[in-house]
Chains A and B, each alone.
Chain A
Amino acid sequence: MSDPTVATVPPSGAPRPRYKRKLSNYLLDKKLQLRYVLLVTVLSGVIAGALGYLIYQQKRAASESIEKDLAALTMLDDSQEDFQQHVASGLASEDRALVYKMIGVGVGLVVILSLYLLVMTHKVAGPLYKVSMYFDRMAAGRLGVVTPLRQGDMLQDFYANFKEMHEAVRARASADADALELAVARLREAKNRADYRGEAQSQLDEALDQLAQHVAERKKNLS
């Protein structure tokens, strides 16, 4: 599975590559997506199956009624037996065709519905997946630039909130890093002018070095 946040690091000078949907990536959050897909598909299947059975039952009852009446009409005339059988087999084949037609429609409905729902739930799972990737980067202290969602994605409001938070934290961290960098520079300058005692000076030097290293690392993670 590719990382949608990778696209946030464009090669120098080149435009950021568009992250496109791939068939293999459609099932991003199996639990979330399959739950909804299965619920709707099974429900539709049950409705279609139950009503389909009702249709078949009614149709079969009509056919049986016709067959019974025809049998009663032709009971006394043996020459009509072939005609009766012909009509009966015609009705039976019509009923069978109805069953096949309903099964075909039902299977088609389930397949189309499943695919459509997979795409629909992907539009929710996609943004969540992308945000999860950014969360993982934040956990490692990396606060890069957040790119917008793809066209058609859902949870735009939530993503906007996330982006706003990410940018605020990033801006604050960047400002803090600048402030700390400035503080290190000023304290070093003051140290050179002042007459600090030996051990204290070495401790201050060490602390400033560590802070400078920390700020440099932070700035690197913010880029």
Chain B
Amino acid sequence: MTSPRPPAGGDRAYKRSWKNLLINKRYQLRFTLFMVGLSTLLICGLGVWVMRVADETTAVSMASVRGTPCPRIPVLTEVAVEPPAEPEPAVPMRLAEPGDPPPPPEAPAGDTANEDGEPDEPASDGDGESASEGADEAPRRITVQIDESSMMMMPVAPKVPEDFATRVVAHWTCELRLDAKIDRLERGRMTILWVLIATGLLLVVGLALYGLKMTHRVAGPLFKVSLYLAKMRDGRFDKVWNLRKGDQLVEFYEHFRTAHAGVVQMEKDDIARIEAVIAAAEAAGAGDLPTVQELRDLLVRKEKSIE
């Protein structure tokens, strides 16, 4: 475009209003929607790509975390078997026959019988003492005692290693740490997703508003020029005011002002010529002629048009 000419009009303050933001729907929406649509497309396309890679990374990291070895809990089924000092002779089992004297009470080794020769209560007694208490003193093997019609099995408590508690704590600490890591990875993946969605929404809304505002700075001057064009079409050549601050198409507007000024000048030239003819006709005594009256009417119309 050619260089602008100096402004000739005055300055009248028109303020922008949100209500008037969309004044040229076709132009403004086309450019804004293109911008918003493209950004949405980019964010969605690349966002899906980002999420795919993030899923892949999370899966790899989770597998890595799951593969991290934790200290194991020691197995409690192991029993320290101490060989007996000397093997006991095998006693053949004999069933009591009628007429036999009752067998004397056998005093087995250890605490299977008390001082009165009566057998101990099995496992736990009424005082709540556990079997493990007695197990510390008893030989660590299963003892089967057959006493006439009853058979009693005494369980052997496993041996608890000295660092058992430490190892259990270490195991579960490690397991919990790994779980926390996996949880953190999953949360990281979700954070990426939410950040993408939030950024996308903010960007789309922000761009839509900015796009409308930006195109409004072009549509505004066009709207203003359109109003003047309508007036010029109806034969009214009002004063042309300046654009608002921040409006675009300043050079274009200057072109319009020069055109407007040119048309006004045409009218003024006509007025000057017509006035001269009317004055000369009146001076010559021909002021009453219908042609001169027509010229007066034309003059009035032209003068009114540039008021």
Contact = CB atoms under 8 A, between A and B. Distances in A.
B46 A194 contact: no
A203 B284 contact: yes
Contacts of B207: 43
Contacts of B38: 40, 44, 113
A63 B161 CA distance: 42
Q: What's the interface size class on B, roughly?
A: 35 or more
A141 B266 contact: yes
Interface in B115-131: none
Contacts of B262: 138-141
Given A129-B1, A168-B232, A183-B294, A211 B53 contact: no
A158 interface: yes
B186 interface: no
A140 B233 CA distance: 18
Interface stretch (A7-15, A47-55, A78-86): A47-55
Nearest to B276: A207
B64 A138 contact: no
Contact of B258 (A58, A65, A135): A135
Given A68-B64, A128-B252, A44 B42 contact: yes
Interface in A3-59: 28-29, 31-32, 35-36, 39-40, 43-44, 47-48, 51-52, 54-55, 58-59
Interface stretch (B28-36, B79-87, B99-107, B149-157): B28-36
A196 B259 contact: no
A132 B57 contact: no
A155 B256 CA distance: 16
A74 to B, nearest CB: 14
Contacts, number: 209
Nearest to B54: A58
Interface string B185-205: 000000010001000000100
B170 to A, nearest CB: 19
User: From DSSP, what is the main secondary structure of chain A's interface residues?
Assistant: helix
B277 A65 contact: no
A120 B46 contact: no
Nearest to B218: A32
Given A113-B38, A194-B286, A47 B276 contact: no
A62 B57 contact: yes
B27 interface: yes
B233 A164 contact: yes
A120 B286 contact: no
A55 B259 contact: no
Contacts of B226: 158, 161
21 contacts: A44-B42, A48-B46, A55-B53, A58-B50, A58-B54, A68-B64, A69-B64, A69-B67, A136-B255, A136-B258, A155-B27, A176-B270, A180-B274, A180-B295, A186-B289, A187-B286, A207-B280, A210-B273, A210-B276, A211-B276, A214-B273
Rank and list the top 8 A-B pairs by shortest CB-CB distance, nearest first: A139-B262, A135-B259, A51-B46, A200-B284, A138-B259, A62-B57, A204-B280, A139-B258
Given A135-B259, A158-B24, A186-B291, 5 more contacts: A32-B249, A109-B42, A141-B262, A165-B230, A194-B284
Interface of B: 1-2, 24, 26-27, 30-31, 34-35, 38-39, 42-43, 46-47, 49-50, 53-54, 56-57, 60-61, 63-64, 67, 192, 196, 203, 207, 214, 218, 222, 225-226, 229-230, 232-235, 248-249, 251-252, 255-256, 258-259, 261-263, 265-266, 269-270, 273-274, 276-277, 279-281, 283-286, 289, 291-292, 294-295, 298, 302
